[in-house]
Chains A and B, each alone.
Chain A
Amino acid sequence: MKEFEELKSIWDSQAEKLEISPGDILKKLKKSRRSFANKLLAETIIALVLIILLAFIWIKSPFIMWTTHLAMFIFISGCFYYIFFQYRDYKSIQNNKLMLKQPGEYLEYLKSFRMRRYALNTRKYSLYAFFIGFAFALFLIEVYFVTPLWQTILALVLIIGWFLLCWLLMRNYIRREEEKLETMIANLERLQKQFQ
């Protein structure tokens, strides 16, 4: 039978396997370009480029119907909507002060962050997809009047096909995300109770 003091002496006699030096950490920091925060920033930049491209097409193309102008407005607004949420999360991750919070508060932040990401990847994505679909429908009205019928039908089929594919992929993705989120939230809540 060992008492705690004997465990303490075992602890004190341990030899560590420290495999890292400060130099390794600094090297890794310099090389680190693939973090989640950088991914969010890259996605935000891509969306910004897309906005500029859409704005350029809108200004330069001689659209004649108000429905097309509305479609372009919705496309660009959709991009801004996406950027807003990505940028908010990017700022949240980059907020260094969060790491210095007490464990209870930090766990609360982790919980709310995961729930926000889930909402963005599921419910908000559905809303986003609905508006983009609506914008495509408006865009097709002008396509119908200025191009041959077969081109309109082809565009329609391609757009519907694209949305069906996204819907199928998202359905499985949302189911998996839901399961992961439930486990994660249960774990975080269990941990929060320990620090109360």
Chain B
Amino acid sequence: MVNKEALFSDIFQKNSRRIYHLCYGYTGDSDSANDLMQETFMKVWKNLDNFRNQSMISTWIYRIAVNTCLSYLRSESRHPKEELTGRIIETEPDEVSDKKEQTALLYSCIAKLDEHERIIITMVLDEVPYAEIAEVSGISEGNLRVKIHRIKQKLAAIYNRYERV
């Protein structure tokens, strides 16, 4: 049990940042991202004995995180996301740094993408290898390259549109 806890703690330290990014990108808000990340790692703990090293542990955790995010959508309509307006930036103009504003805007723009695009782009931004993204999302690598190219363009276009607001 102690070994399992140590292993879990190690897995958490190595993967929590990326999983948080994925959840944040998917939901568009930090609180929900923390909730989803917590739920993901609870499932990781419950499934840890079943991990058989057929794939990398990160791929395995990403798969759990993606499915947890997809389950979240079922109740998403009850929590409408904050509309993407200048208000996000204007609420605390003196307190929030430029970088924080840009990051918040970037996450808001990611939340404007389709759900599968959000999942893919957050993994791309975190430099997850394409083969791993393909395995997690269940999309062939060939298809994925085309999709990633389109999503990058789409995200940049959304960001530039709202940066001017």
Contacts and interface: CB of A to CB of B under 8 A. Distances in A.
A10 B99 contact: yes
Contacts, number: 125
A100 B5 contact: no
Nearest to B99: A13
Contacts of B100: 15
Given A99-B43, A110-B70, A195-B137, A17 B50 contact: no
Contacts of B155: 4, 7
**Interface on chain A toward B: helix, strand, loop, or mixed SS?**
helix
Nearest to B164: A1
B30 A17 contact: yes
Contact of A25 (B42, B60, B115, B153): B42
Contacts of A183: 77
A101 B67 contact: yes
Nearest to B107: A14
Q: How large is the interface on B (under 10, 10 to 19, 20 to 34, 35 or more residues)?
A: 35 or more
Nearest to B73: A187
B106 A19 contact: no
B64 A110 contact: no
A169 interface: no
A100 B139 contact: no
Contact of B138 (A14, A15, A191, A195): A195
B130 interface: no
Task: Indicate the member of A7, A105, A184, A188 with the most B CB atoms within 10 Å.
Answer: A7
A184 B163 CA distance: 33
Interface in A24-49: 24-26, 28-29, 32
Interface in B128-144: 137-139
A129 interface: no
B64 A100 contact: yes
A14 B60 CA distance: 25
B136 to A, nearest CB: 8
Nearest to A13: B99
Contacts of B114: 194
A172 interface: no
B58 interface: no
